[in-house]
Amino acid sequence: DGGITQSPKYLFRKEGQNVTLSCEQNLNHDAMYWYRQDPGQGLRLIYYSQIVNDFQKGDIAEGYSVSREKKESFPLTVTSAQKNPTAFYLCASSISAKPQHFGDGTRLSIL
């Protein structure tokens, strides 16, 4: 079945460590997105990419980095510069203005 796969489901980070969250889609969607969700709040856009080898900052990009080397993949790195990384991270993809399809998310916590 087509869909979006995020891994891992749970991730723990030590202080000063970079961690990478995986997002893979087989929907043949051009656009991919990363969102952060804090408890009891809505989603905030971190980065998005409309085509391969191109991406734009969202509203809260500081402390994060992405790459888009393949259409199917849009990994997110949470760097040590992100001082409050504990959150639920959701990846999504879409075609143009169509509804975004979401993965099941990754919960990141600090050890």
Partner 1 sequence: AQKITQTQPGMFVQEKEAVTLDCTYDTSDPSYGLFWYKQPSSGEMIFLIYQGSYDQQNATEGRYSLNFQKARKSANLVISASQLGDSAMYFCAVLNDYKLSFGAGTTVTVRA
Q: Taking CB under 8 A as the rule, does residue 48 contact partner 1?
A: yes
Q: Is 42 buried (19+), middle (13-18) or exposed (0-12) by CB count in 10 A? A: exposed
Q: What is the chain's length?
A: 111
Contact status, residue 6 vs residue 25, Cβ threshold 8 Å: no
The distance of closest approach from Cβ of residue 60 to partner 1 in the complex, given in angstroms and rounded to an integer, is 9
Options 22, 44, 73, 75; binder of partner 1; rule CB under 8 A: 44
Q: Taking CB under 8 A as the rule, does residue 80 contact partner 1?
A: no
The distance of closest approach from Cβ of residue 2 to partner 1 in the complex, given in angstroms and rounded to an integer, is 14
Sequence-ordered list of residues with C-beta below 8 angstroms from that of 29, at least 6 positions apart, any chain: 93, 94, 95, 101
Of 73 and 100, which CB lies nearer to partner 1 in the complex structure?
100
The distance of closest approach from Cβ of residue 68 to partner 1 in the complex, given in angstroms and rounded to an integer, is 14
Strands (E) across 1-52 are located at 4-7, 10-13, 19-25, 31-37, 43-51
Q: Taking CB under 8 A as the rule, does residue 22 contact partner 1?
A: no
Contact residues for partner 1, defined by CB under 8 A: 31, 33, 35, 40-45, 48, 50, 58-59, 88, 90, 92, 97, 99-102, 104-105, 107
